[in-house]
Amino acid sequence: MAENMVREPLSRIDILIAGGGLAGLTVAIECHRKGHNVHVVERRPGLDSFGDLIGIQPSALCTMRKWPGFVDQLYENQFGPDVHMYKFDGTLIGVFSSFSDYDPSTGERAVILSRLELHRALHKYATSLGISIQHGISVEHYSETIDKGCAILADGTKLEADLVIAAGGVGGKARSTVSGKKEQPISSGYTICRTTFLLEHAMKDPLLAKVYEGNGSHASAYIGPNTHIVTGKNKNIVCWVMTYLANNANATEDWSKTRSSDSALKHVKDWSPFVPALINAVPNKEVVDWKLMWRNPQPKWTSQMGRVAQIGDAAHSLLPTSGSGATMAMEDGFTLAACLHIGGRNNISLAVQVYNKLRFERVSCVQRMGFKTRENWHHTDWDALVGKIIGNWLAKHDSEKYAYDNYAACAKHITEGTPFANTNTPPGYTYEPWTVEDLLKAAGEKTDVQDAGDWS
């Protein structure tokens, strides 16, 4: 598989990626394919054993098809392909094709799978390509010179490269180097419980066994007032993620913090019996408890001299209801790798500026879409739920091709001030800056967020 990958001629661009999660590993593989020299450092000592559901849209799959054998592995481990959506009492709302349409032009449809299995697949594929990945190395600070990016470790050691990509996740430490400040997160008022466990534990419950027996894969969502739970099952594992209204003082933005799954039961009283049965099936009653914090869209993802660049959650955090957090991180990686390939070693600073310009408005729209979807779900507007969640503008996009098609015009816009407008956002929508406070205020006043353009 990986040994059959066709690489571009070597670019002589040395890249250090700080963060070995989904974003970091994706950009590592794609940068390798583009001929760049890549090294990954990750603070965790090994691969995590937890996770939740991840939706990968066709806009990401179309580029990963150029990684021999990789996408086929994802389909083998998917939950779905269809998602059954229910009211909290078990009434079926509808069956949807992985939240987005099948794209006949590419032959792709979205795939829903476990974050755990996706992460392991990326890690295995990267290492099979010979990409260096070092675990247990924590980057504390970032800096740059005119021709080098620097990652500074806890002991003061400096790791240098032509470009440092900060892929350390939500609240990453590159923000101060990129924007000159560290923005304070804003509470969404919601908390998320997440867990993944072996299927055998669920099959001990007769109700769950009745649903799961005979099905190689299964995905469903149950939606109620201020709470929803999304779950998936394949031939090996079950995972679920529940979002609920609760300013839980004990929850943090830390994947290592856990609590008893019993705490989730009080949020699903009078729900379909399937839901509490699923919660009770968690072995050792241990779930990750994550306080859902928001950050205002930040238009600047690159440092002053263009030697440090952020991708994925480090640049933009998304609500789970966007259904596209992983997809956006992957699109970031494809775009950045392509821009560096076009710009070459002598134009790294300009290349990362083009990457930033091509990506920001699109991702900001996805962030906004995630908020609107959550409001529809939690206000239990059943009519609004009938239809796909991911619009064509999002799913039917090729970020790699978009970078090649638009690099020259965007670069000229940056260097000479010529006009340039992105076309990778909803048709008819003109981007306008917004803040989390704006959306939270609208939610508090129960005002629908209406935007021009075609978001379908």
Locus of tokens 């004990």: 250
Phi/psi for 283 (5° steps) reads -65, 140
Which active-site residues does the annotation give?
A: 194
Strand partners, 194: 241, 288
Distance between CA atoms of residues 288 and 292, nearest Å: 12
Quickly count: other Cβ atoms within 10 Å of residue 92's Cβ: 10
What is the rounded end-to-end Cα distance, in angstroms, of the chain?
A: 36
Identify how many contiguous H helices and E strands the chain contains and give both numbers.
15, 18
In angstroms, the CA 14 to CA 38 distance is 6
321 close to 384: Cβ distance less than 8 angstroms: no
C-beta of residue 105 within 8 angstroms of C-beta of residue 287: no
Q: Which of 211, 216, 208, 210 is nearest to 235 (CA)?
A: 216
421 contact partners, CB below 8 Å, separation of at least 6: none
**CA 244 – CA 190 distance, rounded (Å):** 5
CB-based contacts of 141-148 (< 8 A; 24+ apart in sequence):
141/173, 141/177, 142/18, 142/166, 142/173, 142/174, 142/177, 142/303, 142/308, 143/177, 143/308, 144/177, 144/303, 144/304, 144/305, 144/307, 144/308, 145/305, 145/307, 146/305, 147/307, 148/307
